[in-house]
Amino acid sequence: MRLLIIEDSERLRRSLALGLKRSGFAVDAAADGEEGLAFAEINAYEAIVLDLMLPKIDGLEVLRRLRQQGNPAHVLILSALDRVADRIRGLDLGADDYLDKPFAFEELVARLRALVRRHYGEKDPIIRCRHLELDTAAKSLRSRGRAVALTPLEYSLLELLLRRRGRVLSQTEIQERLYDASAEIASNVVEVLVSTLRRKIQLPGSPSLIVTRRGQGYLIEAD
Amino acid sequence: MLSIRRALTGTLLAGSLFAVVLAGIASSLAVEKLVRREFDRSLLAKAELLATLTEQDHGRVTIEFADEYLPEFSTADPREYFELWAGDGRVVERSRSLARKSLIRPPRFELAPRFSDLVLPDGRAGRQVQLGFVPQTEGDDVDPDPSTPNTSGPRALLAVARGTQDLDRLVLALYGIQLATALAIALGIGLIVRRGVTRGLAPLADLARQVESLGSERLASRFAVDPPIEELVPIVARLNDLFARLEQAFARERQFSANVAHELRTPIAELKSLAEVGSRWPNDPSVAGPFFADALAIADRMERTTDQLLALARAEAGLEIVVRERVGLAELVEACWAPFAATAAERGLAFDREIAAGSALTTDRTKLERILSNLLANAVEHSPAGSRIACSADRDSKGALHLEVSNLAPQLEPDDLALLFVRFWRKDPARTGSEHSGLGLAVARSLADLLAFDLTAHLSAEGRLAVRLDEVAAGP
């Protein structure tokens, strides 16, 4: 799941990006409103973490423009402005959530997971598909009740394919969702990733859950 | 607790009652006097009537008196009494009512009537008039003229007495009526006073209610006295003025608290996020590596902010102690510039000094250093790269020192000048990444006030900001 952080405090931006990446998100970070808008125009994000008091273009204006452009990303405002009027203004302009600074990192991650679920129209944090149960809160996978160890990237790929069940995802789309703009990616990285994931979730004697469509991409078919 | 209403009501009631009682007593005494005078007049008229019935015939005094015409002198009730004496003291006639008793005989002959109280023969209290006169001669038809009494011939003395019970009852009744009237008037005055005081103090009571209903959360309310009351208008004006100042002070206080909270929220958020992420992945070098440097930088920033807040609070509370010493200006400017020289060089900033050699003043070195360092720090941070910063000092004809730090400030507008010294004000409110809290110039101005300097900012048409430090009084 790919996130954008727009935050002018360099130290906060850095620690947030690090923490969220380690929590399984692909994260891009922008230092001001102008840069944030440019990122949002180029990439597709499930959620955007937005500070309000930003240089160049302030956070509320960024939000207004995002909504004007029809950007579907869910926006979580992360601000030191904690007055009720500030929250109302932000939510009325199209934000999906509001968190005051200082905040608990765990809470931010939980809220972002909730926003991602909402992005895909889901409420249950556990995604079930045939013999698999993916717990998006615990970031864990069980196959026929047994735990399966996944790397963060394998987990993110499986979550992406399960959330978009029945839809073909191209290699480019998968790359964009799993890797942030700063990542250096080898050309066959998605193929390798799909291959290792297949092996981990494959049941002996049954057809592969992840289907390859030649020239198009990959999908998990809907039940 | 003292009460204006009670004091006013008490005073007015006591005063009114005193006036009513005094008037009542005075009028009662006057009426009693009138009634008693009328009584005496009536008694005298009776005596004069008897005197007209008295005659002399060849030196002998006689009276033509018949009980049937004046029955009150016989046995009729209430009884009256008279006794007539000849000049030699012989009793000529006495009323039947006296039986064998006697009235008090005047000790000497006097024409003027003489009144006195006495106990009547029947034991009642009474009043007597004594009258000396010369009886008219028998057969003389001419009526005696009271103004020119006959003084020739034999003399006669007459005493007429009458009971005073009716008179006393009348006087008592008059006193009763006066008392009842006084009580009714007192009651009426009481009601009028109470109503008048309540009505008169109603605007004050209304004002008190308005004051009572106010709390710190309703400082925007203002008092009103409608219609305007002469005595209350200045009080209300002062109160409203006071509340306006209180409201401003509270607003400033709230804004200040909000600013402090906001200023500390960001570094706390940074620190918390850093610590939480660091504690979750303690072995990740990308997390742990910059942790200590970041934590130190955050702590430094918070320390600077709290230092400035404390400095501001101490200066505004008058707790800063000014220690004066001789300070060489050129040397001070160099010392203040030194920490910024490297940054200025990196940004291609030139520093021009125009300070006369040997120029010095007596002041608190530490505080002046702090002011100047703040001005230079702002100049280095906000000047466009490659521009010039200038620092000049001179004295005017009165010997007062004027120090100026100027630099190009293309981002500033004339309206910003009034805000430069406002606590926490920053041209770009989003500068959370900045090491400046927006308190520096506010602290500098407070310190300048302590050192008897005016700290002001001026923006030229070319966009050059000059911050001037002007000595208010000439130094020694």
Mean pLDDT for chain A overall: 89
For residue B161, is pLDDT > 50? yes
Long-range CB pairs of A66-73, under 8 A, 24+ apart, other chains included? A66/A37, A66/A40, A66/A94, A67/A93, A67/A94, A69/A40, A69/A41, A71/A40, A72/A44, A72/A119, A73/A4, A73/A40, A73/A44, A73/A45, A73/A46, A73/A47, A73/A48, A73/A119
ipTM for the assembly: 0.75
In CATH, the number for domain B233-316 is 1.10.287.130
Q: What is the dihedral of CA B391, B396, B400, B401, to 10 degrees?
A: 10
Mean pLDDT for chain B overall: 86
Domain positions in chain A: 2-119, 126-220
Residue B314's pLDDT is: 85
Amino acid at B324: R
Q: Report, as an integer, the average pLDDT of B289-299.
A: 83
Q: Which of A95, A91, A78 is nearest to A17 (CA)?
A: A78
Q: Do A12 and B277 touch (CB under 8 A)?
A: no
Q: What proportion of chain B, given as a percentage, has pLDDT over 90?
A: 31
Q: Do B266 and A55 touch (CB under 8 A)?
A: no
For residue A61, is pLDDT > 90? yes
Q: Report, as an integer, the average pLDDT of B304-326.
A: 85
For residue B476, is pLDDT > 50? no
Residue B448's pLDDT is: 92
Q: How confident is the model at residue B286 (pLDDT cuts 50, 70, 90)?
A: confident
Residue B245's pLDDT is: 87
| pLDDT top residue among B23 and B143 | B23
Q: Do A19 and B265 touch (CB under 8 A)?
A: no
Q: Which CATH class is domain A126-220?
A: mainly alpha
For residue B475, is pLDDT > 80? no
Q: Looking at the partner chain, which of B266, B277, B297 has a beta carbon nearest the beta carbon of A15? A: B277
- A91-115: pLDDT as tens digits: 999 999 999 988 999 999 999 999 9
Pick the CATH number of B325-471 from 3.30.565.10, 3.40.50.2000, 1.10.10.60, 3.90.1150.10: 3.30.565.10
In CATH, the number for domain B4-138+151-170 is 3.30.450
pTM for the full predicted model: 0.58
Q: Looking at the partner chain, which of A9, A82, A106 has a beta carbon nearest the beta carbon of B270? A: A9
Amino acid at B217: E
For residue B474, is pLDDT > 70? no
How close does chain A come to B253, measured CA to CA in Å?
A: 16
Average the pLDDT over each of B97-106, B180-189, B209-218 and give the range with the smallest value.
Answer: B209-218
Q: Do A104 and B272 touch (CB under 8 A)?
A: yes
Across the A/B interface, how many CB contacts are shorter than 8 Å?
Answer: 86
Q: Looking at the partner chain, which of A14, A101, A105 has a beta carbon nearest the beta carbon of B266? A: A101
Tokens of B435: 């090491």
The separation between the first and the last C-alpha atoms of chain B, rounded to the nearest angstrom, is 57
For residue B152, is pLDDT > 70? no
- B398-436: pLDDT as tens digits: 888 899 999 999 989 998 998 888 888 877 655 555 566
Q: Please report, for residues B16, B372, B379, B474, the alpha-carbon distance to residue B354 in angstroms, rounded to integers and kept in the order given.
A: 84, 15, 16, 20
Q: CA-CA distance, B459 to B454, in Å (whole number)? A: 16
Q: How confident is the model at residue B144 (pLDDT cuts 50, 70, 90)?
A: low
Residue B353's pLDDT is: 92
- B439-451: pLDDT as tens digits: 889 989 999 999 9
| pLDDT top residue among B317 and B456 | B456
Q: Do A101 and B265 touch (CB under 8 A)?
A: yes
Q: Do B298 and A11 touch (CB under 8 A)?
A: yes
Residue B344's pLDDT is: 94
A2-119: CATH topology: Rossmann fold (3.40.50)
- B30-42: pLDDT as tens digits: 999 999 999 999 9
Q: Please report, for residues A72, A119, A133, A162, B122, the alpha-carbon distance to residue A158 in angstroms, rounded to integers and kept in the order given.
A: 22, 17, 11, 6, 141
Most B-contacting residue of A7, A8, A11, A21 (CB-CB within 10 A), to test interface:
A11
Q: Report, as an integer, the average pLDDT of A103-128.
A: 89
Domain positions in chain B: 4-138+151-170, 233-316, 325-471
Q: Looking at the partner chain, which of A19, A55, A82 has a beta carbon nearest the beta carbon of B273? A: A19
Q: Report, as an integer, the average pLDDT of B211-234.
A: 79
Residue B292's pLDDT is: 82
Q: How confident is the model at residue B160 (pLDDT cuts 50, 70, 90)?
A: very high
For residue A194, is pLDDT > 70? yes
Q: Report, as an integer, the average pLDDT of A159-187.
A: 85
Q: How confident is the model at residue B84 (pLDDT cuts 50, 70, 90)?
A: very high
